[in-house]
Amino acid sequence: MELLRRLNAFCFASQIIIGGFIFLPSSINAQSYCTPDFSNGCSPNITIKTVNIQGETTLLDNSNSGCSSGSYGDFTSLTAPDLEQGNTYAIQIGTDYNLYWQIDVRGWLDLNNNGTFEESEEILTTFGQNLAPTYGTSNGMAGSNTSFNYTVPASTPTGDYRMRIRLLYNSTQVSTMDACTQYMFGESEDYMIHIGTYTPTPTCNGAPDAGIISSNESLDLCPDEDFILSATGSSNDLGVTLQWQQRIPAGTGTWTDISGATGTTLTVSGITDNTDYRLVTTCTPTSDNSTSNTLTVNLKPSTECGTSDINQQNTTILKIYPNPAKDKVIIENNGSDDVQAVSIYNIVGDLMLSQENINNIDVSHLTQGTYFITIQFKNGENSIRKLEIIK
């Protein structure tokens, strides 16, 4: 007897208690909605015959559902149409009643998921819409099938929402019809709607312009020199993707995508062989693409580069310090070529500083990050180095 008492189960609202343990049904998060009613119910004619919503990829099409038991049909198990924030969709409601101007329809979408269809959540109505003016009334459906446009609020959180459609026959109560009150003749039906993130429709068409690419440095460089390539005039239409490619060795190798290089600039940290570069732009929906001009970056002879700027006496020709730097950068050149100008670029190739005939540079105004410092010598040669700024 004691065991039986311990195994006794008690149901409380949305939980079951057995022997001191609480079991939660899987639908505990489901809202409890009112069950709409019609005192005289529906009939084969006074009924919701069709509810049709074409989503982005899924279709809700409930046709010829007939008169639901108790004049209420729960169709929330049907596939939910997938709508997107900010987009407009047609909701088609149909009936078999031939005097359709005597039929009124209203719909609600529980956008706050609180289990109540509020007046502010009304998404469609025939009341006051002048849909059947031929018959001298400002109410009623326009025909056996009427289409209503609904725009999903752009701020709607993504998720699943319950929609209710109510059809009311020939009643003066249509102006006050709500989602729960009992009326005389009609039918109500519930469905689920899925709302997702807005995906802009691509605007590109055909092969997008790849533009012209250029370098911020000479195209003849030493192996350890960094440089930046940038594109101008590339298409920025919606749906266009950019991809930088390289070919090693230049002229004879195979073009390959550079991982992660999908913007209008490309920073290259040194090369080991003569290399070709180009930019490919593609219109995603059509796969049409175009390519930019090709830039070839050549390695200088080793006699011109030395070994990481070290001369035969193993003394440094060019020093840039401190690196990382905070306030000042000093350029020390022990070679025969004097420094003519110094330029500093950010990671996307924007010129941040340019000075002439100076070896002590104030960088205190630069924010923390990675930069590239270009030293131009009076003989026309350039050298580029990576510079880290810390704060």
Topology of domain 50-196, per CATH?
A: Immunoglobulin-like (2.60.40)
pLDDT of residue 24: 40
Architecture of domain 308-389: Sandwich (2.60)
Conformational region of residue 277, where left means phi above 0, alpha means psi within -120 to 50, and beta covers everything else:
beta
pLDDT of residue 28: 34
Per-residue pLDDT of the chain (391 residues; tens, 9 = 90+): 444 333 343 333 334 443 443 434 333 345 689 999 999 999 878 899 999 999 999 999 999 888 999 999 999 999 999 999 999 999 999 888 877 667 889 999 999 999 999 999 999 988 766 565 444 455 677 667 889 999 999 999 999 999 999 998 876 676 788 999 999 999 999 999 999 998 777 788 899 999 999 987 778 888 778 889 999 999 988 899 999 999 999 999 899 999 999 999 999 887 888 999 999 999 998 999 999 999 999 988 766 664 334 333 333 467 787 878 888 888 877 655 578 888 898 887 888 998 887 778 899 999 988 888 888 877 777 788 888 888 8
pLDDT of residue 326: 85
pLDDT of residue 310: 36
DSSP collapsed to 3 states, the chain = CHHHHHCCEEEECCEEEECCEEECCCCCCCCCCCCCCECCCCCCCCCCCEEEEECCCCEEEEECCCCCHHHEEECCCCCCCEEECCCEEEEEEECCCCCHHHEEEEEEECCCCCCCCCHHHEEEECCCCCCCHHHCCCCCCCCCEEEEEEECCCCCCCEEEEEEEEEEECCHHHHHCCCCCCECCEEEEEEEEEEECCCCCCCCCCCCCCCEEEECCCCEECCCCEEEEEEECCCCCCCEEEEEEEEECCCCCEEEECCCCCCCEEEEECCCCCEEEEEEEEECCCCEEEECCCEEEEECCHHHHCCCCECCCCCECEEEECCCECCEEEEEECCCCCEEEEEEEECCCCEEEEEECCCEEECCCCCCEEEEEEEEECCCCEEEEEEEECC
Backbone angles phi, psi at 120, to 5 degrees: -70, -10
| Distance separating alpha carbons of residues 191 and 107, to the nearest angstrom | 11
pLDDT of residue 73: 96
Which residue's structure tokens are 């209008």?
264
In this chain, the answer to whether the domains covering 50-196 and 212-302 adopt an identical fold is yes
Locate the domains of the chain by residue range. 1-29, 50-196, 212-302, 308-389
End-to-end CA distance of the chain: 76
Q: Please identify, in words, the CATH class of the domain defined by 212-302.
A: mainly beta
CB neighbour burial string for 249-287, b if at least 16 within 10 angstroms, e if fewer? ebeeeeeeeeeebeebbbbbeebeebbbbbbbbbbeeee
